[in-house]
Amino acid sequence: LTSILVRALRPVAKFLFPSVPLDHPAMSSILMTMSADMLGMGSAATPIGLQAMKQLQELNPDK
């Protein structure tokens, strides 16, 4: 079920985060967080969201 949501949310995430490559681990974490939130699993989405923030920081040129 989560993988179906991830595939459906990929275009939305690409629109919201155009500077993040689709094959970067941060995009996977973002998509997993979004799908977990949509399924009502907010407590499961929190650690994945924190992981996504760490991975996005790697892409940040203004550290």
Residue 60: what pLDDT? 87
User: How sure is the predictor about 2, in pLDDT bands with cuts at 50, 70 and 90?
Assistant: confident
Domain boundaries of the chain, sorted by first residue: 2-59
Residue 42: what pLDDT? 86
Q: What's the predicted TM-score (pTM) here?
A: 0.85
Residue 31: what pLDDT? 94
Structure tokens at 29: 């974490």
Q: What is the pLDDT of residues 6-63, one digit of tens each?
A: 899 999 999 999 999 999 999 999 999 999 999 999 899 999 999 999 999 999 888 7
